[in-house]
Structure formats: structure tokens, C-alpha cells
Chain A
Amino acid sequence: EAAVTQSPRNKVTVTGGNVTLSCRQTNSHNYMYWYRQDTGHGLRLIHYSYGAGNLQIGDVPDGYKATRTTQEDFFLLLELASPSQTSLYFCASSDEDTQYFGPGTRLLVL
């Protein structure tokens, strides 16, 4: 089973702050994803990537940037954080038909 790790696990920042969420997967999957999960919503796709240097826009991309530096590493960037971005963020990687998720990062924007 794929191993996906995320850091930090918890983060508090202020409005306008700069935040980077990190994700690493160790099974050489091509596809990686960032989701957010909020009360009253299922997981919603922010960005995804099919390889180093590639970035695709998901369903809720506004206010987020992402970068895939290597096969293993995928970062989510919030350059001007807003309270509406307070959420639980999940990273995932994928083989042919199954996504494997990290433990999540809980972000609070004050």
C-alpha cells in the first residue's frame, strides 16, 4: 500500500499569512492530489499533478497554488491566507484506480 505523509499536521496562521503544506509519497505514483474537506461538503479537489513539473486545476482552485517538484513531493501554497481557507487538507497519490490518502493537515486561519 502506498505511503503518503503530510506536514505539518496542524497549522495556525493569520489572515494574509503565507502557508506551505507538504506532501510526500514513496511509491512512485504518477498522480498526486490536494483536497480540502469541510463540514457539509465532501472532499473537494483543489489541484492535482501527473508528474514532476506538471500542475492541473481542480474544482476549487481559487486562492491556492501548487507545485510538484519531484515524483514524490507535492506542495500546496496559500500566499495570502484567508479565514475561508480554514479546513482539513488531504493529499493523495494514485495508482490506476485507487487513491491513497495522507493523514491530513488541519489549517486554521485567524
Chain B
Amino acid sequence: GDSVTQTEGPVTVSESESLIINCTYSATSIAYPNLFWYVRYPGEGLQLLLKVITAGQKGSSRGFEATYNKETTSFHLQKASVQESDSAVYYCALGDGNYAQGLTFGLGTRVSVFP
């Protein structure tokens, strides 16, 4: 089956530092899966952060970026300068295009940003 592996947390960074959360995937049911980053802020539900459905493309939102790399089967999340408000749990997820089947999620990476 499909699987997603991401950076094991917790990750601690100082404000204004850069952040990268690695995500690699294995998709057995489809050659070009849809890729997502979701975020869960304290006390809230999961929110879509960004998505990319075309290999080679980059998605961006709220200063975060992720590039869909088909060759390395990766979708790493990066931000050049984090803020304390970026403290959250980040989830990488894969969809096989048949959205009836639900998404396959990574374990989540807890990020804490300190001032």
C-alpha cells in the first residue's frame, strides 16, 4: 500500500531561523499521486497548508514552500524564517486521485518555535 514518511519530531527552532521538514512517499496505486501538507495548530483541527498535484511543481502558502519531486519521491516543506505562530504539528499526506479512498498520512511532525 501507499505510505508517507516524514521527519520525526519534535523539532525545536528559534524565531527567524529556517525550517525544513522532510517528507518522502511510496505510492503503489498510482504513478503521480496528489501531495498535501496539512497543519494542526494547538486546539484546532487540521488545515490544508498547501497541495501540489503535478510532478515538478511547487506549492506555497504562508511563507512555506514544497516541491513535488517525482525522481526522489519527496515533498519537503521549507520556510526561510519561522515565527512563533508557526508552532504546530505538520502532516504530509498523499492522495491517489481517487478521493473516495481517503488520504494516506505521515505521523506528523511537531514543531516548536521559540522567541
Contacts and interface: CB of A to CB of B under 8 A. Distances in A.
Bind each other: yes
Interface of A: 4, 6, 31, 33, 35, 40-45, 48, 50, 56, 58-59, 90, 92, 94, 96-104
A42 B104 contact: yes
A61 B81 CA distance: 42
Interface of A is mostly: strand
Interface residues of B, number: 26
Given A42-B4, A104-B45, A99 B105 contact: no
A98 B51 contact: yes
A58 B102 contact: yes
B45 A99 contact: no
Interface string B31-65: 00010101000011111100101000000000000
A42 B106 contact: yes
